[in-house]
Structure 1
Amino acid sequence: RPRGYGGVAILWREDIKHLIERLEEGSERIVCVKSKKNFSKKSKPHKQKNTHIWNDEIALALLNNKKALFNWKEDGKPKSGKSATLRKNSRSELRRARRHEIARQRDEKYAEIMNTRSGDTKSFYKLINNQRKQGKTSIAEIIVQGKVYDNTAEEIIKGWNEHFANLATPAATPEADHTNREADIDVIMESCLDDSIPISFSVLEVQNAINKLNKNKSPDIYGITAEHFIHGGPDLTVALTKIINNICISCVIPDYIKMGILSPIFKKKGLPTDPKNYRGITVLPVIGKILEILLKEHLWQIIAAIQNQFQRGFTSKISPLFCALLLNEVIIDAVYRKTPLYVALLDAKSAFDVVNHSSLYRKLYLAGISGSLWLLLHDLSVGAQTSVRWENLVSEPFDIKQGVRQGGILKHRII
């Protein structure tokens, strides 16, 4: 009789007795059995990722790849030869098709955001929400002007504060003379003070401005959200109307309305350790947003009359695609006529971050904006401060001496 079986006791339930088969091997002391069914734990079905990455080109490439794989196995899995080459090429073609579809969907998403009319901020917040859903970019350090900030969130937020404070401060240029520019602002301010007619708003106008606020957004630095005003009732609206009208009469905006909280948002390109690859989105006080919505209506009445008819960016109810259509038709016509065509594309780097305040408000005055409206717009930037928020920490505030903050209602109109 065979020997060498170990002494192992196996117990099983009565209801599966019919699945146990006794073997002839063994002895008087040892009984050998086997199961008629595999009781191993079934693995969970693998859920394929990125199932949304699909089109007809990928389907055809996948079919060709399966055929090439089958033929390669039939040939004995050779390392070279026709079947091996076809398998390699079909696999490369499948990967290429997937990359093209991923790039197409990415470009389509960016185009949707860029082509949205300025009056609709849904896509603007869509970009922010997508960033939050994907999780914040986890970094162990940032490098600001050659200096490394690392190890702790307290140290990193110092780096963020230095980076954005530098952006908000004009570069020192000793050879530049801004005397005339600053003198122009003084003259413009005196002229606007002499000609100012107080702007006033009704309770209905303020209520309509409140209704235009975006819901379910982050609270401002004081913990106030749009919902506080939307559901605050008529008494709150009346009180807010009085506050706003008093601000408009004095043409002086309190500093607490100009205090913002900035969150760095990674642009999904470049090194995460380089702060230049982040966009600073600022959450401003809700009261300030309501005031900006009210002023925007007055500002647009003037801008709409002087704006170039071919201006498409930041224009209500008009998409930049209209301008792209004109350019596309010109290119097609030049190709058809076989005539040379020269196209110049200009992109202003950090246009929102480094625009000079004096130059900006002088340009607004020359565009026809004067009186109380100019004084209020100008005072929005005087004494404005911003703090950086990073991983539940808030930095010390710094002064905004240049640029317009991304997240403000009026930033597109002013630029």
Structure 2
Amino acid sequence: MQSQGDLFERDYHELVQEECEIIASMASQHEITAVTLDELDKAIRNLNTGKAPDIHNLRAEHLLYCDSDVKQFLLVIVTKIFKTGQFPHTCILKEGLVSQIFFNERFTNSLYKLPWYNHPTSHREKYESVLRTRIAPFVEQSQNKVQRGFTKGSSPANAAYVIKGLNRESKDSKIDLHLILLNARLAFDVVDHGHLMRRMFQQL
């Protein structure tokens, strides 16, 4: 028998899914701005160089130093993907070279107990870079000024000043302070991305 908490989570998730469908319907009615060559160039320059090739044997350097004709061809493909929301069958985004890593100094004799890392393809990183560049101005406008952990070029250690101030304020006011810490490096492996997209839509 499901608990009240489980029932609440199920009902809430269903409501979020319904709202996501409405948001998707609203978004489909808006004209998507075509990707410009400047956006594509910036996205390519943001790719991490010096890394191993992906499953297509492509490196970031291939895109960084490709001919202008190749960039024009890529621009057509990227713009088509943005406008239709569909990826070509040959454009693999979720597959990659899988390699094993040692995480948090955890060593074990069992290979199955070690985490695995899936190297993303150059295709996926390119699209993500264009999207990040487009939404950055909107995110900066709505982002809380004291939120520093996810801010580019800022250390999460800046949060220590905020926490210290809150702790002092709670003691002076004799109010209990409940501090919840999020391990963002692990949390997004299990979070429902539909909930995140819905929240982002509400904020922007």
**TMscore range, shorter length:** 0.7 to 0.9
1:192 and 2:54 matched = no
- How far apart, CA to CA, are the structure 1 residues paired with 2:183 and 2:158? 21
Cα deviation, residue 252, structure 1 = 2.0
- Name the structure 1 match of 2:158: 322
- Name the structure 1 match of 2:82: 248
Superposed, 1:6-85 pairs within 5 Å as: none
State the secondary structure of the residue aligned to 1:354: coil
The percent of aligned pairs where both chains have the same amino acid is 24
Aligned length: 190
Cα deviation, residue 274, structure 1 = 8.1
- Name the structure 1 match of 2:50: 216
**Equivalent pair of 2:93/2:123 in contact (CA under 8 Å):** no
* Unaligned residue ranges in structure 1 (runs of 5+): 1-173, 369-415
- Out of 255, 259, 270, the residue aligned to residue 94 of structure 2 is 259
- Name the structure 2 match of 1:203: 37
- How far apart, CA to CA, are the structure 2 residues paired with 1:204 and 1:340? 52
- How far apart, CA to CA, are the structure 2 residues paired with 1:324 and 1:274? 38
Deviations 1:331-362 (A, max 9, x none): 6x68xx8x898562423583111111322222
| Structure showing greater relative contact order (alpha-carbon pairs closer than 8 Å, 6 or more residues apart) | 2
Letter in 2 for 1:188: I
- Name the structure 2 match of 1:239: 73
Which is richer in helix? 2
- Name the structure 2 match of 1:347: 182
- Name the structure 2 match of 1:155: none
Letter in 2 for 1:180: L
Cα deviation, residue 328, structure 1 = 4.5
- Name the structure 2 match of 1:301: 137
What value does the CA root-mean-square deviation take over the aligned residues? 3.0
- How far apart, CA to CA, are the structure 1 residues paired with 2:28 and 2:15? 20
State the secondary structure of the residue aligned to 1:358: helix
Letter in 1 for 2:55: I
Cα deviation, residue 282, structure 1 = 2.8
**Equivalent pair of 1:220/1:285 in contact (CA under 8 Å):** yes
Deviations 1:372-399 (A, max 9, x none): xxxxxxxxxxxxxxxxxxxxxxxxxxxx
**Equivalent pair of 2:149/2:158 in contact (CA under 8 Å):** no
- Name the structure 2 match of 1:312: 148
Letter in 2 for 1:302: F
Letter in 1 for 2:137: Q
Deviations 1:127-151 (A, max 9, x none): xxxxxxxxxxxxxxxxxxxxxxxxx
From the superposition, tell whether residues 361 and 341 of structure 1 become closer, same or farther in structure 2 (CA, over 3 Å).
closer
From the superposition, tell whether residues 214 and 234 of structure 1 become closer, same or farther in structure 2 (CA, over 3 Å).
same
State the secondary structure of the residue aligned to 2:189: helix
**Equivalent pair of 2:146/2:162 in contact (CA under 8 Å):** no
- Name the structure 2 match of 1:140: none
Cα deviation, residue 299, structure 1 = 1.3
Cα deviation, residue 204, structure 1 = 2.8
Letter in 1 for 2:51: K
Deviations 1:182-202 (A, max 9, x none): 2222211111112x2212122
Deviations 1:99-124 (A, max 9, x none): xxxxxxxxxxxxxxxxxxxxxxxxxx
Provide TM-score, normalisation by structure 1. 0.41
- Out of 55, 59, 74, the residue aligned to residue 225 of structure 1 is 59
* Unaligned residue ranges in structure 2 (runs of 5+): 1-5
- How far apart, CA to CA, are the structure 1 residues paired with 2:164 and 2:19? 42
State the secondary structure of the residue aligned to 1:310: coil
**Equivalent pair of 1:313/1:320 in contact (CA under 8 Å):** yes
- How far apart, CA to CA, are the structure 1 residues paired with 2:78 and 2:62? 17
- Name the structure 2 match of 1:290: 126
Provide TM-score, normalisation by structure 2. 0.78
State the secondary structure of the residue aligned to 1:260: coil
From the superposition, tell whether residues 367 and 326 of structure 1 become closer, same or farther in structure 2 (CA, over 3 Å).
closer
From the superposition, tell whether residues 364 and 235 of structure 1 become closer, same or farther in structure 2 (CA, over 3 Å).
same
From the superposition, tell whether residues 236 and 323 of structure 1 become closer, same or farther in structure 2 (CA, over 3 Å).
same
State the secondary structure of the residue aligned to 1:263: strand
